[in-house]
Amino acid sequence: MIPYGRQSISAEDKAAVLAVLDSEWLTQGPAVPRFEAVAAAICGAPHAMAVSSGTAALHLGCLALDIGPGDRVWTSPITFVASANCARYCGASVDFVDIDADSINLDAKVLADKLHAARRDGKLPKLVIPVHFAGRSCDMEAIGELSREFGFRVMEDACHAFGAKDDQGHPVGACRHSDMTVTSFHPVKIVTTGEGGMLTTANPEIAERISRLRSHGIVRNPEQMTGQPDGPWYYEQIELGYNYRMTDLQAALGASQLDRLPQFLARRRQLVKRYRQLLAGLPVQLTAHGADDHSAWHLFVIRVEAQRRLAIFQALRAADIGVNVHYIPVHLQSDYRRLGFAPGMFPVAEQYYREAVTLPLFPGLDDTGQDQVVAALAEALQ
């Protein structure tokens, strides 16, 4: 089976992990800050905080912005469930903003209309979470402008877009139009730490709060304590946090992976270019991706006739091609329908979902494998 995505692990990656096993620290040692420093430089962000998963990063981001009961958080319906669940962990309510049919990203024009209506009803969101679907940045300039006009916070979900650039060519993660950016290092993503995630921000208070919340809300610096320490052993829990730390084993793998980020991105872009050539003439629709060298190209999604999608998907799976569908609209999950969401509420997202098929795309996919994918697709489309 050729999977839709797969990690690429080198001899150097393995050596980096083994070196940590021989060291004094398996966790809370020097590998995490080292990984954070390199990642921050890549993103052009002053602060990077590594955590145990992308989901943990989303949760901590909400907590650091004081999202709680009574607050509203808006995101895209075409994303992994974690982008929406993070708000619910904090007791906030979730709503969705329909997507742009070409980019599959949250549509900034739909967002503007929904914000005007929400202002009239006194129901503005406290936080909007744009998701950079498949690796392409949302229109962050437009979203940033709306955030200033309507007074909401912005957390970018860049789990697909580590190493990407926005439409203006600035690195995703620099947070030029947001409070923070979240990414994931799950094995199918751009670089991996096994499980892992990260938040970047330009705001030092947010950075400090997240560093504290990822480790139980504990501080060790007497200046941050509410009173005098009892002695040199003393630490103080000044708010309720979690154990969302990344281990040194993971961070060492991540730092080693970052050395190959340019190669990973180049190979993904090369495969995309090849897909475009090979798919020309077939009855499939590609998603618009802006400048090719801006997207991180986490996913390669094609759209086929809705009535034929199931048969095409099954034919590809039968031919050992590990196609997938990204994503089932979050509002159609039973756990969201229970909250009152229903089919028809976000029609552009729902139509996209009926047509979408994700083809394999990962740095280790060779030309022969890609030819096999296209041949099986051409046959399935007949």
Ligand X SMILES: *Cc1c(COP(=O)(O)O)cnc(C)c1O
Active site residues per annotation: 189
Tell me if 82 contacts ligand X by CB under 6 A. yes
* Residue 53 binding ligand X, by CB under 6 A: yes
How near is the Cβ of 132 to ligand X at its closest, in Å?
8
Q: Which is nearer to ligand X, 193 or 279 (CB)?
A: 193
Q: Which residue is nearest to ligand X (CB)?
A: 54
- Segments in 162-240 forming alpha helices (H): 204-213
One-letter amino acid of 61: G
Torsion sign (Cα): 318, 322, 325, 330: positive
Name the 3-class secondary structure at 286: strand
Longest dimension (CA), the chain: 76
Least Å distance, CB 158 to ligand X, is 8
CB of 233 to ligand X, least distance (A): 34
Q: Burial, 156: exposed, middle or buried (Cβ in 10 Å; 0-12, 13-18, 19+)?
A: buried
Among residues 49 and 131, whose Cβ is nearest to ligand X? 131
Residue 186 near ligand X by CB under 6 A: yes
Of 81, 114, 83, whose CA–CA distance to 97 is shortest? 114
Q: Which stretch binds ligand X (CB under 6 A): 155-163, 341-349, 354-362, 371-379?
A: 155-163
Which range in 79-87, 92-100, 198-206, 337-345 contacts ligand X by CB under 6 A? Answer: 79-87
Q: Which of 55, 250, 287, 358 binds ligand X (CB under 6 A)?
A: 55
Structure tokens at 37: 């420093």
Q: Does 184 help bind ligand X (rule: CB under 6 A)? A: yes
Q: Does 7 bind ligand X (CB under 6 A)?
A: no
Residue 172 engages ligand X in binding (rule: CB under 6 A): no
Asked if 139 interacts with ligand X (CB under 6 A), we say no
Provide the minimum distance between the beta carbon of 76 and ligand X in the complex, in angstroms, as a whole number. 9
8 Å CB contact between 8 and 364: yes
Q: How many CB atoms lie within 10 A of CB 6?
A: 17
Distance (Å, whole) CA 60 – CA 77 = 21
* 8 Å CB contact between 109 and 357: no
Applying the rule CB under 6 A, the residues between 256 and 295 that interact with ligand X are: none
* Nearer residue to ligand X within complex by CB, 56 or 315: 56
Residue with tokens 């990973």: 264
- Bridge partners (DSSP) listed for residue 47: 201
Chain residues in the site for ligand X (CB under 6 A): 53-55, 79-80, 82-83, 131, 157, 159-160, 184, 186, 197
